[in-house]
Amino acid sequence: MSDAFEGEAPPPVARYRIAGLATAAVMLGSVLLGALFAANIGLLLIVGGLFGAVLYHAAFGFTSAWRVLITRRRGRGLRAQMLMLAVAVVLFFPALGAGSLNGMAVEGFVAPLGISVLVGAFLFGLGMQLGGGCASGTLFTAGGGNARMLITLVFFIVGSVIGTAHFSFWTELPALPPVSLVNVGGAYGGMAISLLLFAAIAAVTVVLEKRRYGELERAAPAPRRGFGRLLAGPWPLLAGAVALALLNFATLALAGRPWGITSALALWGAKGFSLLGGDVTQWGYWQSPGNAAALEASVWGDITTVMNVGIMLGALAAANLAGRFAPNFRIPLRSLAAAVIGGLLLGYGARLAFGCNIGAYFSGIASGSLHGWLWLLAAFAGNMLGVRLRPLFFTGEAARRPVAKTS
């Protein structure tokens, strides 16, 4: 979901006006979207805003958590991810097994297991380390004022469009049919299998960390307490993990499916390409009924778009409450090149792999889909290569530590 600002002192003064404007935009936008489209779409803008605030204040990470495990054998971030997934499957599996939640039909993200997932997830993992974040991380850090991540986001969109152009080729390669643990073992059998896997992964990180350091890493003392910490952060990492799982479940309840991010980036790019005179309608990806309908409809009727905008506004509010909104447009050339390359890999890889760290990994595993586990393995391998390539683009400590507060 984060590459935290290590060693960076926050500015002393919170910007309440900008935070208030961002919050007001979420609330007003929610009312307008509810009136123009549907009440659930308006509510999902608020859920997106909450996602952005949680991601920013908890500095919840995927990219940096994996890099720290690879380079330092510190596993606190990955253990938090396992907690997030554990809470999610406990909430998701009974609802998915029943097929409905509060009277609404619900379904998970379940995709085939094939070459496209392996290649796409590996490329996405590589892009995470070069681009400086994943899908959620790119959005919340861009919204939080990281100018470099705006470059990553732009090329994430470009890579997504290219991915849709090649989508049919990759998905026609050999693949096994979709498999869900909810269907294989039932809601509670699948839940038990998943929880055992999460516990095993967490245990491995504990062994690796204790073998190197003799003890587990402890969180640094928070500089704020009470309401001040709630308002301006930082929030405990584990609290962020639980909050993200709860918000994903809220998304399932309101949208009828879990949280996703990257389909909207492909949609934005396709609409932009069409405005420039391009035609994507003949590409296989855009010929499926759902994607074709999204291409024809208003972008504001797209649930994923609405939530992505909410994430950025929520992060904008959080960054200003924390006094850390300070865009820096002086980006070294090699870092800029990494953002471009990383963004392209992120966008392209996400389309091939049926999602990103959110749609394929978080929501895929929360849906019981085995493709989410395949995504995890391939993306982690991509991260390992990305970590080795980082010194080509970043110098000194930046080659080893997070370059921005991203996921």
Tell me the pLDDT tens digit for each residue of 267-291: 999 999 999 999 999 999 999 999 9
* Residue 47 domain flag: yes
Tell me the pLDDT tens digit for each residue of 349-407: 999 999 999 999 999 999 999 999 999 999 999 999 999 999 999 886 455 544 443 33
Tell me the pLDDT tens digit for each residue of 147-194: 999 999 999 999 999 999 999 999 999 999 999 999 999 999 999 999
Q: What local confidence, expressed as pLDDT, does residue 8 receive? A: 45
CB of 56 closer than 8 Å to CB of 140: yes
Q: What local confidence, expressed as pLDDT, does residue 352 receive? A: 97
Mean pLDDT value across residues 110-138:
96
* Residue 3 domain flag: no
Q: Structural domain of residue 65, as residue ranges?
A: 16-100+107-399
* Residue 405 domain flag: no
Q: What local confidence, expressed as pLDDT, does residue 9 receive? A: 46
pTM: 0.93
Of all residues in the chain, what percent carry a pLDDT higher than 70? 94
Number of domains comprising the chain = 1
Give the chain's mean pLDDT: 92
Q: What local confidence, expressed as pLDDT, does residue 222 receive? A: 79
CB atoms under 10 Å from CB of 389, counted, come to 15
Q: What local confidence, expressed as pLDDT, does residue 13 receive? A: 78
Q: What local confidence, expressed as pLDDT, does residue 304 receive? A: 97
* Residue 11 domain flag: no
Tell me the pLDDT tens digit for each residue of 236-269: 999 999 999 999 999 999 999 999 999 999 999 9
* Residue 153 domain flag: yes
CB of 3 closer than 8 Å to CB of 404: yes
Tell me the pLDDT tens digit for each residue of 2-59: 444 444 444 447 889 999 999 999 999 999 999 999 999 999 999 999 999 999 999 9
* Residue 4 domain flag: no
* Weakest-pLDDT range from 71-80, 99-108, 325-334: 325-334
Mean pLDDT value across residues 291-320:
96
Q: What local confidence, expressed as pLDDT, does residue 5 receive? A: 40
Query: Which residue type is seen at 405?
Result: K
* Residues 163, 168, 173: CA angle, nearest 5 degrees: 110
Between the alpha carbon of residue 15 and those of residues 303, 310, 316, the distances in Å are 30, 19, 10
Can you point out the beta strands (E) in 64-139?
100-101, 104-105, 113-114
* Residue 407 domain flag: no
Tell me the pLDDT tens digit for each residue of 133-152: 999 999 999 998 899 999 99
Query: Which residue type is seen at 214?
Result: G
Q: What local confidence, expressed as pLDDT, does residue 3 receive? A: 46
Kind and range of the H or E element at 175? Answer: strand 175-176
* Residue 361 domain flag: yes
Q: What local confidence, expressed as pLDDT, does residue 1 receive? A: 41
Higher pLDDT, 84 or 326: 84
